[in-house]
Structure 1
Amino acid sequence: MSTRRQAHRWKDAPRRAGLDPVLLITASSLLAIGVVMVASTSIAIAESYSVTVWHFVIRHLIYVLLGVGLTIGLRVVGTRQIERLAPFGLVAAIAVLLLPFIPGLGHEVNGSTRWINLGVARFQVVEAAKLLIIVFIALYLARRPELDRRGFGDTLKPLLAAGLLGVILLKQPDMGSAVVIVAIVGGMVWLAGAAWRHLFVLGLTSLPLITVAALEPYRLQRVMTFVDPWADPFNAGFQLTQALIAVGRGQITGVGLGSSVQKLYYLPEAHTDFIFAVLAEEFGLLGIALVLVLFGLLVGRILQVGLRAQAMDRPFQAFLCWGVGLWIGIQALVSIGVNLGLLPTKGLTLPLISAGGSSLIMTILGIGLVIRVQWELQRETLSRPRRREQWAV
């Protein structure tokens, strides 16, 4: 009898939902690599910015803490509350993208007006817009099950929303982010089961628009430089050629942490857009493989959480996870592709690794939303009644 009572007490003990270890370990590992690489790339160039050698590292750590703090704040904000606010996501995304055009608020860097001046720091508004549009599209698709059986207009509307944001971004100008947002929304629509004929028609009609945007003189020059960067290695092709030299010097095991030569004023934006090239130089093919594996595990796990949400009839949470997974995966692929010379140069950071407060904070917050979804799903599973089993003595 005592054995039976003990078994019942153990089975009836309250169980608590925990945080997903794969999400935590992979995201934390990428953040740790980012801190190391920001230190490696920025200490050498701090003097040229007239700051202390630890300036960029300390600032990077502050942004990490801010992102983690916002994620912890999700403990009191559930995804149900976010779902109720989701209808305003598109309006909010448009509003934040227009903020840099307000005189006195917008901040221009290298001819682009993508930031707003907050006094103590600058914020790149497109990073917030990415998360806002994901939330909005997640709700839109959640309310339209079996998208493949619906009309062409239901597939067109979310892509028109993404296109509207893209038009605003081209005015800043920021074609790289515009392409990423359209790709994220397109991926979410595809995961929602949109009919292939609708996607094919939309793809064909978008080609002329992309071509016109790419024919801007400076964008066309980037494309031509991508085709043959060595044709003008000291001017238009300087960034790409220096990145390729850095990757080539790394070989299999790299030259060692802190021993990169290309980061010493040769490779522009070594601590932001081209941090992966320096990582490849210092850690070689092994470092490249490690980062790719970590991103693969992180994105794969995020997509798995979305599948679980879908199986538990939580469509908004499912599309929210898939949107965040597509965001991180697409931006990581584009950033790595640029560093390896596989894609034309774009001003995109490598998620969780590059120095850049806006991108870092919003990416951590996006992962925090996925962790919140996973926690809610686990709590719902644990709250279900369990069958009592009688143990024989």
Structure 2
Amino acid sequence: MIYSSTAIYSWEKYKDSAYFLKKQLIFITVGIFFSFLVMAMDYRVLAKYSKILVLCALLLLVLLHVPGISREISGAKRWFRIWGFGFQPSEFANLAVITYVAAFLSKKGVSRMERFSSGFLPAIIVLGVVSILILIQPDLGTVVALGMVVALMLFAAGAKLRYLFYIFIAAVPFLYLLVFSVPYRRQRIMAFLNPWADPLGSGFQLIQSQVALGSGGWFGKGLGKSIQKLSYLPAAHTDFIFSIIGEELGFIAA
């Protein structure tokens, strides 16, 4: 599917239809290597250096806003470019925060987690600082996902539900402002709710993805036979690859 959905774009941009396939094979190889490395590592080592991981994440998130270092894509500064590969510090920040919170919770124990100031607040402060730096990029989706993971971790560790409820209530007004005070975010929400209100603008991509999924039917058109990937569906090889899977392999495979 990677080759099928990227071949045309790869040829147009790099004159190599297998460019992204080769790149993904490299990522898979590196990923397998690091997965075995992590499996062989004592997880307590990560706990020992969890604070350092958070500090490194904060430094990387700050460096994103230093002119000439980061790469701006579609108005957002989220990426570093290293040796031809993209690196997103917010992904490292996710790992760092989750590792820190896990290490913090393992030390505190269930009884301490019932206390707001010593058991609950420190984890929320770390999450808050990292979230602010990610929001500046801007990247609201990552912040929401990370916040939900940390909330589940705190709940599993024995944090009182009312503490989580207070944080949620406090966050709702900010989330509302972050979504509806920024035009492109508001457009995305409106397009999701009713893409046909602006079929040639903000709703175009969603409509084309629905066309891809609908035309695939139950069993698809066949591998490599997508029509929507022929420049009809924007981002067919990235964010909307699922639509191409549905078009070529059908509802059953998707």
Query: If the length of structure 2 is used for normalisation, what is the TM-score?
Result: 0.92
Rg larger for: 1
Match of 2:126 in 1: 161
Match of 1:276 in 2: 242
The one-letter code matched in structure 1 to 2:232 is Y
Aligned mates of 1:142, 1:89 — CA distance in 2? 17
**Partner-residue secondary structure (3-state), 1:211:** helix
Alignment of 1:68-217 (within 5 A): 68-74=32-38, 77-146=41-110, 150-153=114-117, 154-215=119-180, 216-217=182-183
Q: Deviations over 1:105-143 (max 9, x none)?
A: 101111111011213322111111111111111101111
**Partner-residue secondary structure (3-state), 1:146:** helix
The one-letter code matched in structure 2 to 1:185 is V
Match of 1:292 in 2: none
| 1:206 to 1:286, Cα distance in 2 relative to 1, 3 A | same
The one-letter code matched in structure 1 to 2:175 is I
Alignment of 1:291-330 (within 5 A): none
Aligned mates of 1:152, 1:196 — CA distance in 2? 11
Match of 1:11 in 2: none
1:89 CA drift (Å): 2.8
Aligned mates of 1:138, 1:156 — CA distance in 2? 14
Is the Cα–Cα contact under 8 Å of residues 113 and 157 in structure 2 kept in the other structure? Answer: no
Is the Cα–Cα contact under 8 Å of residues 147 and 194 in structure 1 kept in the other structure? Answer: no
1:221 aligns with 2:187: yes
Aligned mates of 2:121, 2:175 — CA distance in 1? 17
Aligned mates of 1:197, 1:223 — CA distance in 2? 29
Aligned mates of 1:147, 1:217 — CA distance in 2? 45
Match of 1:43 in 2: 7
Aligned mates of 1:196, 1:77 — CA distance in 2? 34
| Structure with the larger RCO, 1 or 2 (CA within 8 Å, 6+ apart) | 1
Aligned mates of 2:73, 2:221 — CA distance in 1? 33
The one-letter code matched in structure 1 to 2:176 is T
Is the Cα–Cα contact under 8 Å of residues 243 and 267 in structure 1 kept in the other structure? Answer: yes
Aligned mates of 2:68, 2:82 — CA distance in 1? 11
The one-letter code matched in structure 1 to 2:57 is A
Supply the RMSD in Å over aligned alpha carbons.
1.7
1:54 aligns with 2:22: no
Aligned mates of 2:72, 2:130 — CA distance in 1? 19
Match of 2:28 in 1: 64
Aligned mates of 2:39, 2:244 — CA distance in 1? 37
The one-letter code matched in structure 2 to 1:159 is I
Aligned mate of 2:209, from 237, 243, 254? 243
1:84 CA drift (Å): 1.2
Aligned mates of 2:143, 2:152 — CA distance in 1? 14
Match of 1:266 in 2: 232
The one-letter code matched in structure 2 to 1:260 is S
Is the Cα–Cα contact under 8 Å of residues 79 and 89 in structure 2 kept in the other structure? Answer: yes
Match of 1:331 in 2: none
Aligned mates of 1:68, 1:52 — CA distance in 2? 25
| 1:77 to 1:166, Cα distance in 2 relative to 1, 3 A | same
1:255 aligns with 2:221: yes
Number of corresponding residues: 252
**Partner-residue secondary structure (3-state), 2:201:** coil
Aligned mates of 2:199, 2:122 — CA distance in 1? 43
Is the Cα–Cα contact under 8 Å of residues 205 and 234 in structure 2 kept in the other structure? Answer: yes
Is the Cα–Cα contact under 8 Å of residues 247 and 278 in structure 1 kept in the other structure? Answer: yes
Aligned mates of 2:111, 2:9 — CA distance in 1? 51
1:57 CA drift (Å): 0.4
Match of 1:30 in 2: none
The one-letter code matched in structure 2 to 1:194 is A
Aligned mates of 1:110, 1:48 — CA distance in 2? 20
Is the Cα–Cα contact under 8 Å of residues 147 and 192 in structure 1 kept in the other structure? Answer: no
The one-letter code matched in structure 2 to 1:264 is L
1:239 CA drift (Å): 1.4
Aligned mates of 1:126, 1:149 — CA distance in 2? 27
Is the Cα–Cα contact under 8 Å of residues 113 and 120 in structure 2 kept in the other structure? Answer: no
1:228 CA drift (Å): 0.7
1:226 CA drift (Å): 1.2
Is the Cα–Cα contact under 8 Å of residues 263 and 278 in structure 1 kept in the other structure? Answer: yes
| 1:54 to 1:187, Cα distance in 2 relative to 1, 3 A | same
Aligned mates of 1:147, 1:287 — CA distance in 2? 47
Q: Deviations over 1:246-293 (max 9, x none)?
A: 1212221122111111111112111211111111222222112xxxxx
